[in-house]
Chains A and B, each alone.
Chain A
Amino acid sequence: MAARKKLDKATRLATRQGLLVVIVCLLTLEATALLQYYYSRKILSEESTRRAQGQLEATKLHILNVLDQVETAVRNSQWSVEQQLIKPDSLSAVTVRLVASNPVICGSTVALKDHMLAPYSHEAEGTILTSTLATEEYDYPHQEWFVKPLELGEGYWSEPYFDEGGGNILMTTYSVPVVDKKGRTAVFTADVSLEWLSDLIATVKVYPTAFNMVVSREGRIMVSPVETLTIEHNVHDLASSMEDSTTFQSLNQTIMAEESGQDTYKYQGKLHYMFFDKVPRTGWVMSISIPEDEIYGSIKRLGAMVTLLQIVGLLMLILVLYYMVRGQRELRQSEEQKNRIDGELQVARGIQMSMIPKIFPEYPECADVDMFACVIPAKEVGGDLYDFYIREEKLFFCIGDVSGKGVPASLVMAVTRSLFRTVSAHEKSPQRIVSTINASMSDMNETNMFVTLFCGVLDLKNGHLRYCNAGHNAPVLVQKDGNRELPVEPNLPLGVLFEMSFTEQECDLSCGTGLFLYTDGLNEAENAYHQLFGEERMMAALKSGLESRQQIAAMTDAVHAFVAGAEQSDDLTMLYIRFMNSQITEETERHLILHNDIQQIPQLAEFVESVADIAKLDVGMTMSLNLALEEAVTNVIMYAYPPGSDGLVDVEAVIREKELRFILSDSGVAFDPTAAPEADITLDVSERPIGGLGIFLVRNIMDEVTYTRSDDGKNILTMIKKLA
């Protein structure tokens, strides 16, 4: 649960970090986009201003050029008019010439101040006609073009107007005052059609939807995008058609007051930028209006695309972050799991190590034996084991190695060690201990794991060692006169064959003799060059006379020096036992294990004779004992086990000064031979039964015969013969 919480916390943290990344990205992108937008807008604004102003300037120059042409033509003819004022009839020749020689000028007049005389020439369909303006209804002395130049005393450009007589075209008139030496005063005019102005303005196209306007100095509309608005209308009429007329009004006031500039107004719901410039002399104001969209449309489209890209980018970023967070979580989970398994392996290691005795000396009160053992574990849990303990003045010990490594091996190791303890608790024969463990392990060995095991029982009273090997390395006998391998039958490892019959062996250890047991982690220890430590180096490191602790330390140093830091691949287990009892007691033990086969009887005879030798018995006593033993053993062989099945008979002989004790044990059906009726030896030949003599002989030869059935299902027959 704690791990789960920790995990959630880590995930929340990762999510928060991811969010932060997204937010930072978003802010950076937005800031960049805004900055870009701001500068693009500025550039576009400057660009539009530059373009509009350039256009205005060029157009203004064009207009001024036309105006200059007119003014120059008028000035050139002014002298002629002055000379002709004295004879007014010839004035029309001047006006005709002026109109004829200047295509821009479509009409001209010279109007006298003191007389109602005003000959007027104008172009009509290719010819120049001359008429007079001095009519009652026209009343030229009150016309603006006549009054203003005289007032001002200089040339004057009239407000544009429609020439009603001359073909409905928009016109303006340039008029100058003329005074001759005699004080005769007149006004000399040139009419200019403004059609070219509309054409000129129409060519000005700053942006596709931009539009241009020209208004007179009095606010009359000369050129406008709205065709219905003509010179009869002024800007107030235009303003009244707009939704925010006040803005436009104030705009026009600005326009009228200033030479040039720019401003904004709303038209048809859109913001328009207006640039304007005033033409000198005529006071015409030209303006270019550009809708905001036109200027900034591209930037808005760009902005939309950038925003779209940003959203897509952010979504992808979020997706990537999501997968990263999830990936990290999975990684963390697998790490957590690995850590947990590692931790559990450590615990398993601990449990395993706690199973084997580690405190030395384990039996400080026992001076008969000096023992030390050590396990140098490889990295992972392994399958090495050793165990020992003292029971009834006998040292039970074993060393073993489970095939394979890791948890399975350690489990098998634990099972093996438990079996050793359980079985050896009521069994003195190593052969039987090994056989029983083998049977148990073969029975449940579904994984084909096997164990090599060396099992020994050392009699601490006399140094007699009984041992049984199940495929393990032969231990080394360390003696003063040199080291040698203990002769062992290899047999098969435990767990291979259910009905494997193991051989028991025995030997006697003299005082000071050491027994060195090891697992293949020692002789197969590898250095960096893949060379093995080997038996030779091992033998060389074993020194008779060293205490067990020193011996193990010396061997450890030797193997460490050899491997020189190369990684250990297998557990290394060593057990060193030194028999230290110099006072062998008078008691001696011998053992024999037989199968339930009558052909094994001669082996029993040899065994009894060897016991008789130790006890120094005479021939008669030897034969009697032989007979008793044969009878007892035959009884077991014949009747304890079902016919055809394999069974064992264990014969133990204890030789003491005053008595000989034979203990027979078997795992067959319960049978008490001592309960059999006594044979009657006094009967006649015909009445005498054939059988029943075996037990009779045992009873008669031995001094004491007792039968017990043990708790673990064994028949135990103890036979004692007193010695004189």
Chain B
Amino acid sequence: MEVKITEKDNVMTAQLIGRLDTAVSQEVATTLQPVIEQANKTIVLDCKELSYISSSGLRIFLTIRKAAAGKGGKVIVRDINNEIRQVFMMTGFLNLFEIQES
């Protein structure tokens, strides 16, 4: 699992690459801490190369979403694959996040 964070024009982009399972979730959460701290900005979670997500990954997504809601920011989930979309649908996350296709 790899996380790349870039900032451009007041938009924070976190590129998630690989499997986000329970084993790596703690590490990913730590990596994304700066993003959560700047939740007043627009946050883009780039899932183009995210192959898998477990409930622990969903918790990170939800944590960011809650932070944004609190600080008046915005969270965009971009390019999720069909499998993850299925999970989002199952868990009601489709209603909580703005999903974009690039």
Contacts and interface: CB of A to CB of B under 8 A. Distances in A.
Most chain A beta-carbon contacts within 10 A, residue among B23, B59, B65: B23
Interface stretch (B9-17, B30-38, B41-49, B89-97): B89-97
A61 B7 CA distance: 174
Nearest to A621: B83
A116 interface: no
A685 B83 contact: no
Contacts of A626: 52
A700 B55 contact: no
Interface string A653-697: 000000000000000000000000001011101101011011011
Interface string A590-611: 0000000011111001000000
Nearest to A619: B83
Contacts, number: 71
A630 interface: yes
Interface residues of B, number: 26
B90 A686 contact: no
Contacts of B90: 681, 697, 700-701
Contact of B82 (A620, A688, A696): A620
Interface in A625-672: 626-627, 630-631, 634
A321 interface: no
Q: Which 3 A-B pairs have the closest CB atoms?
A: A681-B92, A601-B23, A693-B55
Interface of A: 598-602, 605, 619-620, 623-624, 626-627, 630-631, 634, 679, 681-683, 685-686, 688, 690-691, 693-694, 696-697, 700-701
A686 B66 contact: yes
Interface string B53-68: 1111011001101100
Given A630-B54, A690-B66, 12 more contacts: A601-B21, A623-B83, A624-B83, A627-B53, A627-B87, A630-B22, A634-B54, A634-B55, A685-B69, A694-B55, A696-B91, A697-B87
Nearest to A599: B23
Interface of B: 19, 21-23, 51-56, 58-59, 62-63, 65-66, 69, 82-83, 86-87, 90-92, 95-96
Nearest to A630: B54
B96 A685 contact: yes
A551 to B, nearest CB: 47
A620 B87 CA distance: 10
Contacts of A627: 52-55, 87
A522 B17 CA distance: 57
Contacts of A686: 66, 69
A256 B80 CA distance: 171
A47 B60 CA distance: 142
13 contacts: A599-B23, A600-B23, A602-B23, A605-B19, A620-B83, A624-B86, A626-B52, A634-B22, A634-B54, A681-B92, A685-B96, A694-B55, A697-B91
Contacts of A605: 19, 21
B59 A697 contact: no
Contacts of A696: 55, 91
B55 A601 contact: no
A43 to B, nearest CB: 124
A682 B55 CA distance: 17
Most chain B beta-carbon contacts within 10 A, residue among A601, A679, A696, A701: A601
A630 B54 CA distance: 7
A681 B62 CA distance: 12
A598 B92 contact: no
Contacts of B91: 679, 681, 693, 696-697
Nearest to A695: B55
A460 to B, nearest CB: 36
B81 to A, nearest CB: 9
A122 B100 CA distance: 198
A631 B82 contact: no
A514 to B, nearest CB: 41
Contact of B55 (A599, A619, A697): A697
B92 A690 contact: no
A693 B58 contact: yes
Nearest to B56: A634
Given A630-B21, A685-B69, A620 B86 contact: yes
A697 B23 CA distance: 17
B24 to A, nearest CB: 9
Most chain B beta-carbon contacts within 10 A, residue among A626, A630, A682: A630
B22 A685 contact: no
Nearest to B66: A685
A693 B59 contact: yes
Contact of A602 (B21, B58, B69, B87): B21
A397 B86 CA distance: 45
Contacts of B82: 620
B54 to A, nearest CB: 5
Contacts of A683: 92
A117 B54 CA distance: 191
A128 B89 CA distance: 193
